[in-house]
C-alpha cells in the first residue's frame, strides 16, 4: 500500500535545467573552455559534482569542483531569478497526495543552495515536504539508490511503500533499485528512455488516481 511520495525536483517540480546549463557554460567560458548545452545531457539528475565534472572530463580538463560549483550556483542564482515557474500539474499533484494522507519527501541530487533557489522562485515552501534530502546528504548520488532509501527512512516508511516521481533515467534507476515504484514524466527524456518506470506520462496533469491508490 502506498504511504509516501518521493519527489525529484528538477524536471518534476520546476524546469531549471536550461538555466543551470547556461550558468555552467558561462562558468566554463570564464575559465577559457567553450562547452555546449548538449554536453551536460548525459549527466542530468546525477548532481552538480558529476554534472560539471563529467563535462570537464569530456574536454580533458581538471577543475576544482567546489570552486567551479560555487561560481556556477552564483551565476545560476542571477539568471534564474524571476524566470523559474512550477511545471504543469506540480502543485495540483502535491495537493492530491496531501488529500490522500500521503507523506511527502523531496529527494534531489542538487545541492541545498540550488534547491533553496528553485523552491523560492516557484513559491513552494520547504514545509510542503515532511523531509528534504539533497545531494549533500548522500555519498553515492543517483543512479545509486541511496537518496531514495534515505528519503523513505526519514518518512518512517519502507521503500516498497513509496512512489518515486522522476524525469531522468538515472533517477528512475535509483528509485527502482531502492525498491520503490516509479512514476516518470517526459520532461527531460522520452518515454523509451524511461521504460523502467511503472508509469510514464507527459506531465503530472495526466496522472490518474490509480497511481496513488495501490
* Predicted confidence (pLDDT) per residue in 20-67, tens digit: 999 999 999 999 999 999 999 898 878 788 999 999 999 999 999 999
Active site residue 111: no
Q: Is the pLDDT of residue 126 over 80?
A: yes
**What residues contact residue 176 under an 8 Å CB cut-off, 6+ apart?**
182, 196, 197
Q: Is the pLDDT of residue 17 over 90?
A: no
Radius of gyration for the chain, computed over Cα atoms and rounded to the nearest angstrom: 17
Q: Is the pLDDT of residue 71 over 80?
A: yes
Domains in the chain (CATH in brackets) are 4-15+84-212 (3.40.50.1000), 17-80 (1.10.150)
Q: What would the grid cell of residue 170 be?
A: 538515472
Mean pLDDT, rounded, for 72-81: 93
Average pLDDT, the chain: 95
Alpha-carbon separation of residue 166 from 66, 121, 123, 174, 181 (angstroms) = 26, 20, 20, 10, 11
Among candidate residues 178, 158, 162, the one with its CA nearest the CA of residue 103: 162
Alpha-carbon separation of residue 20 from 52, 67, 93, 196 (angstroms) = 10, 16, 25, 26
**What residues contact residue 19 under an 8 Å CB cut-off, 6+ apart?**
76, 79, 80, 83, 84
Structure confidence at residue 83 (pLDDT): 92
Residue whose grid cell is 524536471: 11
pLDDT more than 70, % of the chain: 100
Q: Which of 8, 111, 146, 167 is catalytic?
A: 8
* Predicted confidence (pLDDT) per residue in 141-174, tens digit: 999 999 999 999 999 999 999 999 999 999 999 9
Q: Please name every residue paired with 104 in a beta bridge, in sequence order, or none if there are none.
A: 5
* Predicted confidence (pLDDT) per residue in 91-111, tens digit: 999 999 999 999 999 999 988
Active site residue 167: no
Residue whose grid cell is 512514476: 183
Structure confidence at residue 204 (pLDDT): 98
Structure confidence at residue 48 (pLDDT): 84
Q: How far is it, in rounded angstroms, from Cα 77 to Cα 22?
A: 11
Mean pLDDT, rounded, for 177-184: 98
Query: Starting from the edge strand earliest in sequence, which strands make up the sheet with 4-7, in order?
Result: 131-133, 103-107, 4-7, 162-166, 181-185, 199-201
pTM: 0.87
Using pLDDT thresholds of 50, 70 and 90, give the confidence band for residue 210.
very high
Q: What would the grid cell of residue 98 be?
A: 496531501
Say if residues 69 and 52 touch (Cβ distance below 8 Å): yes
Q: Which of 10, 15, 111, 167 is catalytic?
A: 10
Amino acid at each position: 500500500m502506498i504511504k509516501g511520495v518521493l519527489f525529484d525536483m528538477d524536471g518534476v517540480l520546476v524546469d531549471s535545467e536550461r538555466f543551470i546549463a547556461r550558468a555552467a557554460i558561462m562558468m566554463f567560458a570564464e575559465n577559457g573552455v567553450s562547452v555546449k548545452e548538449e554536453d551536460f545531457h548525459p549527466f542530468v539528475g546525477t548532481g552538480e559534482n558529476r554534472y560539471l565534472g563529467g563535462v570537464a572530463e569530456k574536454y580533458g580538463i581538471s577543475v576544482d569542483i567546489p570552486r567551479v560549483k560555487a561560481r556556477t550556483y552564483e551565476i545560476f542564482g542571477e539568471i534564474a531569478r524571476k524566470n523559474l515557474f512550477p511545471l504543469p500539474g506540480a502543485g495540483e499533484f502535491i495537493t492530491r497526495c496531501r488529500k490522500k494522507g500521503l507523506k511527502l519527501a523531496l529527494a534531489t541530487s542538487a545541492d541545498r543552495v540550488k534547491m533553496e533557489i528553485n523552491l523560492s522562485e516557484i513559491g513552494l515552501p520547504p514545509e510542503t515536504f515532511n523531509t528534504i534530502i539533497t545531494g549533500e546528504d548522500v555519498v553515492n548520488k543517483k543512479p545509486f539508490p541511496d537518496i531514495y532509501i534515505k528519503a523513505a527512512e526519514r518518512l518512517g516508511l519502507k521503500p516498497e511503500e513509496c512512489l518515486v516521481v522522476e524525469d531522468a533515467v538515472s533517477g528512475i534507476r535509483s528509485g527502482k533499485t531502492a525498491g520503490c515504484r516509479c512514476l516518470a514524466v517526459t520532461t527531460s527524456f522520452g518515454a523509451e528512455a524511461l521504460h523502467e518506470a511503472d508509469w510514464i506520462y507527459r506531465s503530472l496533469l495526466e496522472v490518474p488516481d490509480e497511481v496513488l491508490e495501490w
